[in-house]
Amino acid sequence: MGIETTDDERGLSEAGVPPVRRIVVDGETPPVRVAHRIGNGASPGLDEPFAVEQDFEAVWVEERMRIESLGVRFGQKEAVKDVSLQVNSGEVLALIGPSGCGKTTLLRSLNKLVDLTPTAIRSGRILLDDEDTAYMDDTLLRKKVGMLFQQPNPFPMTIFDNVAYGLRERGSKRPGKKALEPIVVDALERAGLWDEVSDNLNHPALSLSGGQQQRLCIARSLAVRPEVLLLDEPCSALDPISTAIIEDTIVNLKDEIAIVIVTHNLQQAERIADKVAFMYLGDLVEYGPATQVFNAPMAERTKDYVRGDFG
C-alpha cells in the first residue's frame, strides 16, 4: 500500500484546498471523497473557452464510465470532436444541444451501437469501471449499459415475457416463470409500472399505452441489473402526464444506476438533471452542474441556447 500525490493535488493544496491523497491498495478501490478544482481551458475547434464547473467543491462520487477524447466520424463527416466526460452513479447527466450536434452519436457510442454503422470511425477511449469498452464483448457491454429509444419498442409478447426476455436469453438454461417472477416484479416496481399491470402480466405488451410501454422497456432493461441506463429522447412521443411519470421514474432510479439522457426539452433537463453537457456541432461547449449551466452559463454560446436564441 502506498500514498500518491499528483501535480493536480499539489495545485489544490497551493490554492488553499486540502490535497487529496490516493491510497493505493491491492484489490478493489472503494469510492472516495474527492475535491474538484475545475477551471477554464482550451477546447479544440472552439473560438471560446471550454466552460466547465467553477470554484471548488467536495462531493462523493462513484465513477461508472469515463469518456476520454472521444471522436466519431461518419466517412468525412465529424460528428463528435474530442469530447471528455464522466458518468457517475447517483447522477442524471443530460446531453443538450440543437439537432445534429452529436448528442445521440455520443450516447450510442457508450454501448457501441454507433459501431454498427459501417462508415463509423471512433477514436479516443470509453471506459466502464476502468475497463476499455473497445475490448469488451458487445453483449456483455449492452447488458451493463442498457438503452431506451425515442419510440417504445416492446416485443410482441406478454408483459411478463417482455421483462423476463433478457434473463431468459442470457443463459444456456432457460429459467422457469416461478424463478423469474420475483425479478420481474422488482423490475416493474422500480420502473413505476407494477401497480398498473400487476393483474395483467399475461396480457399483450402492445395493449399498453405509450407511456406504459416506455416504462415496460425501462423495466426490461432494469431486470438484467445494468450499471448505466442510456435514454434517447424517451418522452418525445409521450403526452405531458406520461412524461411526468417517466421523469419521476428517472429521478427515483438515479440513486441505484447512472443515467445519461439526450433531450431537446430544456425544461425537462432542468427538472431532472444533476449534470448537463451542452454540445454544438460536435463540440462539448459547456459541462457542469445543471444549476450552473441553466442559471449562470459561462460560454456565450450556451447562454444563447438556454435562453432560446437558437435550437
Count of domains in the chain? 1
pLDDT at position 172: 57
Q: Is residue 189 part of a domain?
A: yes
Produce one character per residue of 132-165: b if its CB has 16 or more CB atoms within 10 Å, e if not. ebeebeeeebbbbbbbbbbebebeeebbbbbbbb
Residue 207 structural domain: 86-116+136-306
Cβ-proximal residues to 47 (8 Å cutoff; 6+ apart), any chain? none
**Whole-angstrom Cα distance, residue 264 to residue 310?**
12
Per-residue pLDDT of the chain (311 residues; tens, 9 = 90+): 444 444 444 444 444 444 433 333 344 434 433 333 333 333 333 444 444 444 434 445 689 999 999 999 999 999 999 999 999 999 999 999 999 999 999 999 999 999 999 999 999 999 999 999 999 999 999 999 999 999 999 999 999 999 999 888 776 567 788 899 999 999 999 999 999 999 999 999 999 999 999 999 999 999 999 999 999 999 998 999 999 999 999 999 998 899 999 999 999 999 999 999 999 999 999 999 999 999 999 999 999 999 988 87
CATH assignment at residue 112: 3.40.50.300
Distances from the Cα of 289 to the Cα of 53, 67, 119, 173, angstroms: 7, 18, 34, 45
Q: Is residue 236 part of a domain?
A: yes
Which element (helix H / strand E) includes 23?
Answer: strand 22-24
Q: Is residue 210 part of a domain?
A: yes
pLDDT at position 16: 42
pLDDT at position 169: 78
> Between vectors from CA 92 to CA 32 and to CA 288, what angle results, nearest 5°?
75
Q: Is residue 216 part of a domain?
A: yes
pLDDT at position 237: 86
